[in-house]
Amino acid sequence: MLNRRSFFNHSLTASLAAFLGFTQCESPAQTENTAAATPSKSNPNSKAVTPAIIATWPHKEATGPAMDVIQEGRSALDAVEACARIVEADPMDQSVGYGGLPDAAGNVTLDACIMSADGKAGAVTYLQHIKHPISVARKVMEETIHVMLSGEGALQFALEQGFEKEDMLTPKAKEKWEKWKAENKGAPAKANIDQHDTIGVLAIDKDGNMSGACTTSGMAYKVPGRVGDSPIIGAGLYVDNEVGGACATGVGELVMTTLGSFLVVELMRQGKTPQEACEAAVQRIADRHLKEGDDLQVGFIAMNKKGEHGAYSILNGFSYTLHQDDQNEIHEATFMMMNPNQE
Ligand code: GLY
């Protein structure tokens, strides 16, 4: 499996892109409206649309089965959970779930949230020892009166719900952490593009309803206790079933302080296309937080209710997976500036 961080650090050559099945994206802003004319049987008030799934990063292995969930007639909520779970279970993915890189003390701490078409949400932060934080987040949404559980309380809740306690630190992740500790003498990691990212996913089901999910192990070697944007509703993820949804990846601190995903959705509500909204949110981060030479990365994906999508990032190297119209493809996102550290 391709290491996503290599996307940050190296330009994709055309041959590599072809090998991986990448398609050079025409401007997503020009994406055709995929809305169909006939209303759905199960919801006569909704306009039937082509089901669609969009996820941050190259995750065809997860968006494919998630689309199967939708084609079986299940909900967008089931689909985004299924998508996130596949990535959470992958030991080779070092920024999500099992196999994720630990904090500075060597503990893998996981953040996740989920948001359904009826505007409900569930989230867990600083969750340890559980392979599927996204499913715990869904349980928080469905089985409690709360939106977010954290740390030990989230773990106890997960165990009560029947989740198993497991060791999340793989030998590979442990080895990397030990190397980092030796080289950095335990100093906190710099919040740069090399050390983390996230999977965020949005889906539209056959009834035209949208849901989203976001899950991560967060910034590698983070200060113990740190929570990023991914489990924060409105930061790492936001879905409004009347408008559309958005997800963020990258340096969480930049996303949290601009409430990036909420901003993208609100801009779509005001009439921007998903692409225009993603670009405006990145611009907001740049205006507020960035100075010349910074190599901090944030990327957004967005999809509106018509199935139009957009994606944009601060630096080159961000990619996303779009499963729509029987095509499950990886696309390179457009970006604001070149990575100053890139060759
Ligand atoms: N975007 C993931 C994090 O900052 O934790």
Q: Which CATH number characterizes residue 260's domain? A: 3.60.20.30
The gap from C-alpha 343 to its chain's centroid, in whole angstroms, comes to 27
Helix (H, G, I), strand (E, B) or coil at 105: coil
Within a domain: 147: yes
> Mutation test of ligand 1: which of 195, 227, 251 has the most ligand atoms closer than 8 Å to its C-beta?
251
Within a domain: 188: yes
Within a domain: 21: no
Residues ≥6 apart with Cβ < 8 Å to 64:
323, 328
Taking phi over 0 as left and psi of -120 to 50 as alpha, with beta for the rest, 175 belongs to alpha
Within a domain: 340: no
Per the structure, how many domains does the chain have? 1
CA nearest ligand 1 atom 4, residue: 252
Domain ranges, residue 253:
42-335
**Taking the model in full, what pTM does it have?**
0.86
- Residue count (the chain): 343
* Spatial separation of the C-alpha atoms in residues 168 and 219, rounded to whole Å: 15
Within a domain: 35: no
Q: Which two tokens stand for residue 62?
A: 């997860």
| 8 A C-beta contact, residue 100 and residue 121 | no
pLDDT in tens, the chain (343 residues): 233 443 333 332 222 222 222 233 333 333 333 333 333 344 444 445 799 999 999 999 999 999 999 999 999 999 999 999 999 999 998 899 999 999 999 999 999 999 999 999 999 999 999 999 999 999 999 999 999 999 999 999 999 999 999 999 999 999 999 999 998 876 666 655 555 579 999 999 999 999 999 999 999 999 999 999 999 999 999 999 999 999 999 999 999 999 999 999 999 999 999 999 999 999 999 999 999 888 899 999 999 999 999 999 999 999 999 999 999 999 999 999 987 776 5
Within a domain: 28: no
- State the distance from the centre of ligand 1 to the C-alpha of 72, rounded, in angstroms: 32
Active site residue 198: yes
Give me the pLDDT at residue 185, please.
73
Task: List Cα–Cα distances, 133 to 4, 155, 275, in angstroms.
Answer: 21, 10, 29
Hey, CA dihedral for 130, 253, 261, 335, is it positive or negative? negative
* Ligand 1 proximity of 230 Cβ (cutoff 6 Å): yes
Within a domain: 298: yes
Nearest residue to 191 (alpha-carbon basis) of 256, 242, 254: 254
CA nearest ligand 1 atom 5, residue: 218
Within a domain: 84: yes
Give me the pLDDT at residue 343, please.
59
- State the distance from the centre of ligand 1 to the C-alpha of 200, rounded, in angstroms: 11
Give me the pLDDT at residue 195, please.
54
Task: Give me the catalytic one of 31, 63, 198, 321.
Answer: 198
| 8 A C-beta contact, residue 208 and residue 46 | yes
* Ligand 1 proximity of 63 Cβ (cutoff 6 Å): no
Give me the pLDDT at residue 20, please.
23
